[in-house]
Amino acid sequence: MVKRTVMLAVLVALLLSVVGVVGAQDAAQVGPITQRILDRGSLICGVHPGLAGFGFVNDAGEYEGFDVDICRAVAAAILGDATKVEFKPLDAASRQAAIQSEEVDMMSRNTTWTFSRDASWGATFGPTTFYDGQGLAVRTDSGITTLEDLDGTTICVQSGTTTELNLADAFSARGLTYNPQVFAEADPTWEAFVEGRCDAFTTDKSGVAAYRASADDPSVYTILDVTLSKEPLTPLSPQSDPQFADIVRWTVFALIQAEEYGITSQNIDEYLTSEVPEIQRFLGQGDNPGGTLYGLAKDYVVNVIRQVGNYSEIFDRNIGPDTRFGLNRGLNALWTDGGLMYSPPFR
């Protein structure tokens, strides 16, 4: 009898330990950053505090913009609620420290993915959300239309970014000279140009478009049809949690894939009952594991698309042709339309 009781106890202990191990495995599917976000009930996301269209505070005192919506999409994926984001305003120079100290869980702030940053920032980048390039604005009445026309002129440029170096490279490669007027911050750089202290203003084309659109009369300024560099603007997260980086990655891919399927925040309910296996798998319906493979809700994609919209909805409402920025998709079109936006398969 005693023997039987002991055996039973051993069996129960064994069973419990198996359950415990399974439990531990479940928990282990969520990395430390995701766990922190779940415990806190919000995602801390580093953004630009004042780049119209991408990251800025609107009249209602809320953060808004293309980059801001990427943060919201990740919050919807992890917490099921796109509003649960604590935005952390970051200037260009404080980006590296913010990611290294893990003061932010992630960053979505017009940041170019480069070889040296990937190596030294202790960050995981990707996927690119906006393929940009460095551009230049001049006064429309200046008659300047090419880079060669800028030979010997004065150009306003910001330090601490990829911009300053690209400008030097582009001019020296063409045997041209210029006189740089360098500022530590973006606003004074643009203001110096507006005041006539420079013949041109340069930064990412998205930034040039944002500043031009914010002018009293944008037609006074023209964006040259010249691209000086590649600026793949890309969200990033600390290298310490590769699983969280995967969540960021598969949230961005979900935005792109939803556009490819034609699934929007408006019509997603119709797709929930789709019998197409590929759609069911993507939306985590039926027997499909969906987000559980990353410790997320099975239907995390549904939360993301319903609350934030697909890639084209995000692009169009913040910076698209019908906004004051009037940006076309260009390189940011889907691969099926000749662009670079391409999601690996959700299978």
Q: Kindly state the tokens that stand for 327.
A: 């940006």
Q: Is 234 in the site for ligand GSH (CB under 6 A)?
A: no
Q: Is 42 in the site for ligand GSH (CB under 6 A)?
A: no
Residue written as token pair 């880079």: 147
Q: Is 164 in the site for ligand GSH (CB under 6 A)?
A: no
**Smallest gap from residue 221 Cβ to ligand GSH (A):** 15
The neighbouring-strand residues paired with 156 are 181, 201
Part in contact with ligand GSH (CB under 6 A); list of ranges 6-14, 159-167, 175-183, 240-248: 159-167
Q: Is 158 in the site for ligand GSH (CB under 6 A)?
A: yes
Instruction: Encode burial over 116-145: b for 16+ CB neighbours within 10 A, e otherwise.
Output: ebbeebbbbbbbbbbbbbbbbbbbeeeebe
Cβ proximity to ligand GSH: between 123 and 186 the closer is 186
Cβ proximity to ligand GSH: between 149 and 191 the closer is 191
Q: Indicate the burial class of 149 (C-beta count within 10 angstroms; 0-12, 13-18, 19 or more).
A: middle
Q: Which residue is nearest to ligand GSH (CB)?
A: 207
Cβ proximity to ligand GSH: between 54 and 171 the closer is 54
Q: Kindly state the tokens that stand for 243.
A: 């699983």
Q: Kindly state the tokens that stand for 31.
A: 């990395």
**Smallest gap from residue 233 Cβ to ligand GSH (A):** 6
Q: Is 48 in the site for ligand GSH (CB under 6 A)?
A: yes
**Smallest gap from residue 283 Cβ to ligand GSH (A):** 34
Cβ proximity to ligand GSH: between 162 and 251 the closer is 162
Q: Are 108 and 70 in contact (CB under 8 A)?
A: yes
Q: Is 166 in the site for ligand GSH (CB under 6 A)?
A: no
Instruction: Strands of the chain (E only): list them.
Output: 43-47, 50-51, 55-57, 63-64, 85-89, 106-107, 123-125, 130-132, 134-139, 153-158, 178-183, 200-204, 221-223, 231-233, 236-238
With CB under 6 A as the contact rule, the residue among 91, 164, 191, 316 that binds ligand GSH is 91
SS3 201: strand
Q: Is 202 in the site for ligand GSH (CB under 6 A)?
A: no
Distance between CA atoms of 171 and 178, rounded to whole angstroms? 8
Q: Please tell me the total number of residues recorded for the chain in this structure.
A: 347
Q: Is 88 in the site for ligand GSH (CB under 6 A)?
A: no
Q: Is 191 in the site for ligand GSH (CB under 6 A)?
A: no
Q: Is 111 in the site for ligand GSH (CB under 6 A)?
A: yes
Count Cβ atoms below 10 Å from residue 112 Cβ, excluding itself: 20
Q: Is 163 in the site for ligand GSH (CB under 6 A)?
A: yes
- Residues 128-157, interacting with ligand GSH (CB under 6 A): none
Cβ proximity to ligand GSH: between 90 and 263 the closer is 90
**Smallest gap from residue 51 Cβ to ligand GSH (A):** 6
Cβ proximity to ligand GSH: between 71 and 82 the closer is 71
Q: Are 178 and 228 in contact (CB under 8 A)?
A: no
> If binding means CB under 6 A, how many residues of this protein chain bind ligand GSH?
18
Q: Is 204 in the site for ligand GSH (CB under 6 A)?
A: yes
Q: Is 47 in the site for ligand GSH (CB under 6 A)?
A: no
Q: Which helix (H) or strand (E) holds 56?
A: strand 55-57
Q: Is 212 in the site for ligand GSH (CB under 6 A)?
A: no
Distance between CA atoms of 285 and 267, rounded to whole angstroms? 16
The neighbouring-strand residues paired with 180 are 155
- CA-based nearest residue to 100, from 249, 239, 245: 239
SS3 269: helix
Chain residues binding ligand GSH by CB under 6 A are 48, 51, 91-92, 110-112, 158, 161-163, 185-186, 203-204, 207, 231, 233
